Chains A and B, each alone.
Chain A
Amino acid sequence: MYTTELGKVSPLQDGAQEDPERLAAFETRVAADEFVEPKDWMPQAYRRTLVRQISQHAHSEIVGMLPEGNWLTRAPSLQRKAILLAKIQDEGGHGLYLYCAAETLGTSREEMIDALHSGRAKYSTIFNYPTLNWADIGAIGWLVDGAAIMNQVPLQRTSYGPYARAMVRICKEESFHQRQGYDLLLALAKGTAAQKAMSQDALNRWWWPALMMFGPPDEDSPNSAQSIRWRIKRETNDQLRQKFVDATVPQAELLGLTIPDPDLNWNEQRGHYDFGAIEWDEFYAVVRGEGPTAKERITARRDAWANGAWVREAAAAFEAKRAARVAA
């Protein structure tokens, strides 16, 4: 899962209109780590929060195909090309699993895609950054998929059954994504000066956006508590971010790369790395669609969907004719 803090509904307000008895029973079930399934009763706000979160996650997977796709036709070896294609294809699959999970909540994929294309629905800000050199493909796998995995692993136990099951499948597939990215960077680390420079340049550009993937700091994330209580979220943004930094710093060292943060330091007392302040203004600008490639990304998705309309209609018309022949 990527950032979930976008375009919030206000669940607390809605809660007031629900039947308090049913709501209490629901909260008890969820607190006991029971799963909620599509036909079960659920509070409206829970349903809407989930549709928003799952569909944003799905949109992120689909839009996320584009920055990596940008280098697919230029992958420098046949094996890297095959790996990258398989990886991007997985992301498409993830989008598909997630749309299907969201559809069990009564919202059609068409509606969700419409919301994305009209700008009503958001996707992860990370994909509005450009991929400028080949090492960006490594950095995305290592950092972006790495951060995503950290977000996603706890969601395998999220309270909504179809979402949890989609996440189990996704996490199983994600494990190769981060490794292939790191493997790509390892090859560059052993390579020429130009290759090493590519890697450092990529890390410089992807480090901070990757940290922002965990969402705003906990104190600015007012609905987090509700989401955690509902088991839609299982750890706070700051907890996950810290975990990510702690895991990633030694990996950067092994690659011989410098993390672009002068304030990064091991804190013996906390047993964690301290790191510098994140520029949240940039984050919110990118959320607002002001990222350098936001327009390209959404236009590419709109075009793909619009250019595919005649294909979808044709196949449906073919089936309608066949069904009519059978009926006759």
Chain B
Amino acid sequence: MEYSLFRALTQLGDDSLILGQRLCEWCGHGPTIEVDLGLSNLALDLIGQATMLLDYAGELEGGGRDADALAFHRNAEQFANCLLAEQPNGDFARTVVRHLLFATYASALYEALTASPDARLAEIAAKAVKELRYHADFAADWAERLGDGTEESRARMAEALDWHWRFVNDLFHDDRDWAACAARGLVPLRQSLRYGFERDVSAILERAGLALPRKVWPIVGGRSGQHSEHLSVLLATMQVLPRAHPEAVW
């Protein structure tokens, strides 16, 4: 079995799944109806990506698991998403910053993945990259408006940036499986995207009157199943029905 590619695909799929699940929590509670609808569109994109990626991962694994089996019947330590994706929504500023960091990273990553020699992955990436570019723009627009809006919104954005910046190292972490796939040319090294990411994010922040935090936090772990406290709680909610009725089809 293509174990390292299986792991790499779950990393990608879990990022989309967990962030999509987080955005579902906004549904019905957005700052205006229009923004509510916008956040739902982001979540729908992410759930769609997760389904394609995890289905493919399950097929590669060859054990009969599909996206649902992977989403609903793994424990927290088997999830390979980045720490950023699982962080609680917080206020709208935290959601915007989380999305700005994630989508800026992911749109560059999927851009590169469209050229993957793995045809199936390249095909999924071709669809996802269009969605994620929109996500990055959406988040950048909001970052600009909140950063350069009122005193209150600026303070909230600064706080949110400081809050989430800890997880950027983890976002770019190339664990052993990812590095193995990169060595075979299937995926780019995440580290290779980091310079462009910091350049793009700092340009957006500058327009918003905010600055890129200097401090580099050494935190990593999401890719190898070492998560924050939040993930298992998220999973307890998300997985409750399939876990309670393991034999049921929905």
Contacts and interface: CB of A to CB of B under 8 A. Distances in A.
Q: Do chains A and B touch in the complex (CB under 8 A)?
A: yes
Interface of A: 62, 65-66, 69, 72-82, 85-86, 88-89, 92-93, 95-96, 99, 134, 184, 187-188, 190-192, 194-195, 300, 303-304, 307-318, 321
Given A74-B240, A85-B43, A89-B37, A314 B146 contact: yes
15 contacts: A73-B238, A74-B241, A76-B72, A76-B248, A92-B36, A96-B34, A188-B250, A190-B249, A192-B245, A300-B28, A308-B30, A309-B31, A313-B150, A314-B152, A315-B146
A22 B72 CA distance: 65
B144 A318 contact: yes
B148 A74 contact: no
B29 A303 contact: yes
B146 A78 contact: no
A80 B152 CA distance: 38
B10 interface: no
- State the 4 A-B residue pairs at the shortest beta-carbon distance, nearest first: A308-B31, A314-B149, A314-B153, A76-B241
Contacts of B54: 78
A311 to B, nearest CB: 4
Contacts of A310: 150, 152-153, 156
A221 to B, nearest CB: 30
Contacts of B68: 77-78
A85 B24 CA distance: 7
A14 B30 CA distance: 39
Task: Choose among B44, B47, B144, B149 the residue with the greatest number of A CB atoms under 10 Å from its CB.
Answer: B149
B146 A74 contact: no
A133 to B, nearest CB: 9
Contacts of A312: 31-32
Interface class of chain B by DSSP: helix
Interface of B: 17, 21, 24-25, 27-37, 40-41, 43-44, 47-48, 50-51, 54, 67-68, 71-72, 91-92, 144-146, 148-150, 152-153, 156, 237-238, 240-242, 245, 247-250
Contacts of B72: 76-77
Contacts of A309: 31
Contacts of B27: 65, 69, 72, 85, 88-89
Task: Choose among A73, A82, A188, A314 the residue with the greatest number of B CB atoms under 10 Å from its CB.
Answer: A314
Contacts of B91: 307
Contacts of A313: 149-150, 152-153
B250 A80 contact: yes
Given A73-B25, A77-B68, A194-B248, A89 B149 contact: no
A78 B37 contact: no
Contact of A311 (B48, B51, B153, B248): B153
Given A73-B21, A195-B245, A321-B148, A311 B31 contact: yes
Contacts of B44: 82, 85-86, 89
A104 B146 CA distance: 30
A187 B249 contact: yes
Task: Choose among A79, A81, A190, A194 the residue with the greatest number of B CB atoms under 10 Å from its CB.
Answer: A81
A299 B23 CA distance: 20
A316 B21 CA distance: 30
Given A65-B27, A191-B249, A300-B28, A314 B145 contact: yes
Nearest to A80: B250
A97 to B, nearest CB: 10
B31 A85 contact: no
Contacts of A86: 40, 44
Nearest to B157: A314
B51 to A, nearest CB: 5
B28 A65 contact: yes
B46 to A, nearest CB: 10
Given A92-B33, A312-B31, A315-B149, A74 B237 contact: yes
A268 B95 CA distance: 59
Contacts of B31: 304, 307-309, 311-312
Contacts of A80: 250
Contact of B250 (A77, A96, A308, A316): A77
A316 B148 CA distance: 10
Contacts of B37: 89, 92-93, 96
Contacts of A65: 27-28, 36
B48 A317 contact: no
B50 A78 contact: yes
Contacts of B249: 187, 190-191
A123 B238 CA distance: 30
Contacts of A311: 31-32, 35, 92, 146, 153
A116 to B, nearest CB: 12
Contact of A318 (B47, B149, B237): B149
Contacts of B148: 318, 321
Given A76-B242, A76-B250, A318-B144, A95 B33 contact: yes
Contacts of B238: 73-74
